[in-house]
Amino acid sequence: MSNRPVTISQAAPYVCGVILVALLVRGGISAQRPFGTKEYRGRVRVAIENIPYLIGPAVGVDAEPTPAAIALLSPNKILERRYVDPSTGAGFTLLIVHCGDVRDMIGHYPPVCYPAHGWKAGGSTKVAIEINGEKATAIKYDFTHNDELFERHMSVTNFFVIPEEGVTLFADMKDVERASRSSETGGLGVAQFQIVMPEDSNPQWRDLVIHETLQAVAPTVKTIAQGIKK
């Protein structure tokens, strides 16, 4: 396991830069706002804020979202939290963005955002996940970044949560685009979860981080997936 800290641009995880402006889809049908939407969004904000600061032995520290991210994504809530194991120095970052309108998420995901900030895209791998009894697939994206000193490697395990009947966990941006065209789900929003970690970390440690992080965010995922249901 590598103990070398990974420096990630504060904007890179959730701001795709000016190209996102062209990718945002604001047209089409108007997303309906079912009764209780305001209260639902409030519950989502609280659920994200209540994600524990201790995941396994790692302790979390929050970073403030940039004004650019807020301006571009119109988020209901953004969380960026860096977790570090004080005994080893190994760490990872948890990123969550919830948009109250699905259309605000279009074009915003790792294959677009990270290369826009200097990270070179590598391969991608499907990762089996299970949250609250729902089995699904996330996608692990690999990136490299060259600077004057060395080449850095990182992976981003990514999935979306959409409050639909039955299946609520998705890995593909195509599912977000589909939800944005729905007059029902479009107005309830979508959440994106990212687990960012050094790619040269011990594989067993990476698997443990993902497992424990998914357990930690499970109550938040449940709140988002339920929609306006109580």
| pLDDT computed for residue 23 by the predictor | 36
pTM, two decimal places? 0.83
What is the C-alpha radius of gyration for the chain, rounded to an integer number of angstroms?
17
| Cβ atoms of residues 185 and 163 within 8 Å | yes
| pLDDT computed for residue 150 by the predictor | 80
- Location of structure tokens 């706002």: 33
Q: What is the DSSP letter of 115?
A: G
| pLDDT computed for residue 16 by the predictor | 45
Residue 168: closest CA among 182, 156, 179:
179
Which distant-in-sequence residues (6+ apart) come within 8 Å of 225 by Cβ? 132, 134, 161, 162, 163, 168, 169
Give the CA angle between residues 52, 226, 130 to the nearest 5°.
Answer: 60
19 CA to centre of own chain: 19
Q: What is the DSSP letter of 29?
A: S
Per-residue pLDDT tens listing for the chain (230 residues): 444 444 444 445 544 433 333 333 343 334 556 678 899 999 999 999 999 999 999 999 999 887 777 777 789 999 999 999 999 899 999 999 999 989 888 888 999 988 988 899 999 999 999 999 999 999 999 999 887 778 889 999 999 999 988 899 999 999 999 998 887 776 789 999 999 998 777 888 889 999 999 999 999 999 999 998 65
Give the CA angle between residues 90, 93, 97 to the nearest 5°.
Answer: 170
What the block records as the tokens of 157 is: 């395990």
| pLDDT computed for residue 178 by the predictor | 92
Rounded Cα distance, 165 and 206, in Å: 31
Q: How many CB atoms lie within 10 A of CB 228?
A: 17
